[in-house]
Amino acid sequence: MKKKIWLAFFCLMIWLLPLTVFGATEILRLTIKPVKKRYAVFELVQIQFMIKNISKQPVNLNNLSWPNGSRWLYALKIYDKKQNRIMPVGQYVFRKQPTAEEITVINPGEVFEHYVTVEEMYNRLGPGTYTIIGLYHNQRYNRDGDQELWTGEIASKQVEVEIVPLATEALDVYINNLRNRDDAQQQQAAMQILSLHRDHRAISFLRGIALQETNPNNTEAVKSLGLIGEAAIPALSSLLTSLDQSRWPEIIYALGMTKSTKAIPYLVPLLLVKQEENISAWALQALANIEDRQARDLIVQKLKDPRETIRQIAVEALGKGRDPRSIPLLIEMLNTEFRANVRRQIAKAIYLLSGEIYSYKDYQGKITAFDPAKDLSQDEKDGLHDYLARDRQVSEPEDPE
């Protein structure tokens, strides 16, 4: 009798397993394809998204009943040749509000196509070979009696794109254009091209432009130094001593943009308690852009800073980082932190790192659960799935027919 029961249970599990897998992973299949395999620097890199319905029911790509309106969210994860993640400086996700004319349901076997450009989500890419993975995201939504399937998030297989550098003769022209103070637009274009190529010859010119208070490109020059990277750190350091503190935020930010550990010694003195609070905050934000254990340890130290603002920014920096080792530290801090504003930031950081909801004491001492709908800014909501899906293991699906 027992053998028959176990046999029946085993057969039931065999029957249910395909349904479970089908419902979880086999509704839609996403494939991406670059319009071209090779692009020139500053040429728009266009990516085709192809979403195929591989289920036996119609699939709703767009939830028109969502309280905040419908959202199609497309995102790209981009890695360089060394498998370093290229992080967007601006928006994390390209958002698109569907129009009435656009398709919202695809039938079994159909493929929906959409195009996005890399520049809608990232700064332009410099020369090199990049691996790209596509993500499509929509809020999961269940409704009793609904005959259509709704989807959450799907990922594509990876593709490669090459950004071809300009010839030396062309870069020489842009170097000459840096000297042209009469054409600000031409000078700005030269900064962008040369910084993407990490052309070290531009460093001295960019430093000179940054020092020109009347030049409309002086802020762009500082940013370009940061994009050039490690070789520009001495020039950025000299600007800290040469320019007024009103210009420090952009310089400190640029030091972080270099992503080099050699910028850390220049940022550490700015973290001291005796420094102005906002200067320490800028230094913390710059350290958050440097993926290094030393930078992370410096941020962790500031979790015990006597200044509330600094503790809050340190928590924010950990929340926007990628290291899951930060989660236990933040959970422990949630139980000991005495400022409600910092506690709220801790709960937010834990959510961004793990997707878990934690409660915290508000200003009146009441226990309040972190609410993503209310406690995240619109930019954070737009970028949320990028935070939570960044370590996804992507399978190798077939191309749509």
User: E strands within 80-212?
Assistant: 85-86, 94-96, 105-106, 111-117, 128-137, 149-150, 153-155, 159-164
Rg of the chain taking only CA atoms, in angstroms: 25
The residues spanned by each domain of the chain are 28-164, 168-388
Q: 168-388 — its CATH code?
A: 1.25.10.10
Summarised one tens digit per residue, pLDDT across range 53-112 is 888 888 877 644 434 433 446 778 888 888 777 765 333 344 445 555 656 688 999 998
Q: Give per-residue pLDDT as tens, 130-153.
A: 999 888 766 544 444 455 565 566
Q: Which residue would you say has higher pLDDT here, 272 or 84?
A: 272
Quick check: 333 and 303 in contact, CB under 8 A? yes
Give the domain 28-164 fold.
Answer: Immunoglobulin-like (2.60.40)
CA angle at 381 for the pair 375 and 387, rounded to the nearest 5°? 105
Give the pLDDT confidence score for residue 7 in this predicted structure.
45
Helices (H), 26-129: none
φ and ψ at residue 31, rounded to 5 degrees: -125, 140
Phi-psi group of 66: left, alpha or beta (phi > 0 → left; psi -120 to 50 → alpha; rest → beta)? beta
What whole-number distance in Å separates Cα of residue 69 and Cα of residue 50?
Answer: 23
Q: How far is CA 195 from CA 222, 251, 264, in A?
A: 11, 15, 21
Instruction: Report angle CA 128, 133, 137 to the nearest 5 degrees.
Output: 145
pLDDT digits (tens, 9 = 90+) for 285-334: 899 888 888 999 999 999 999 989 999 999 988 887 767 788 999 999 98
The pLDDT of 246-271, averaged and rounded, is 94
Q: What is the pLDDT of residue 70?
A: 37
The pLDDT value given to residue 224: 95
Q: Please state, rounded to an integer, the average pLDDT across all residues of the chain.
A: 79
pLDDT digits (tens, 9 = 90+) for 357-396: 888 888 888 888 888 777 777 666 655 544 444 443 333 3
Token pair 């928590």: residue:
315
SS3 labels along 258-269 = CCCHHHHHHHHH
Query: Beta-strand (E) ranges in 82-208?
Result: 85-86, 94-96, 105-106, 111-117, 128-137, 149-150, 153-155, 159-164
CA dist., res. 218 & res. 211, Å (int): 7
Q: What is the mean pLDDT of residues 192-203?
A: 94
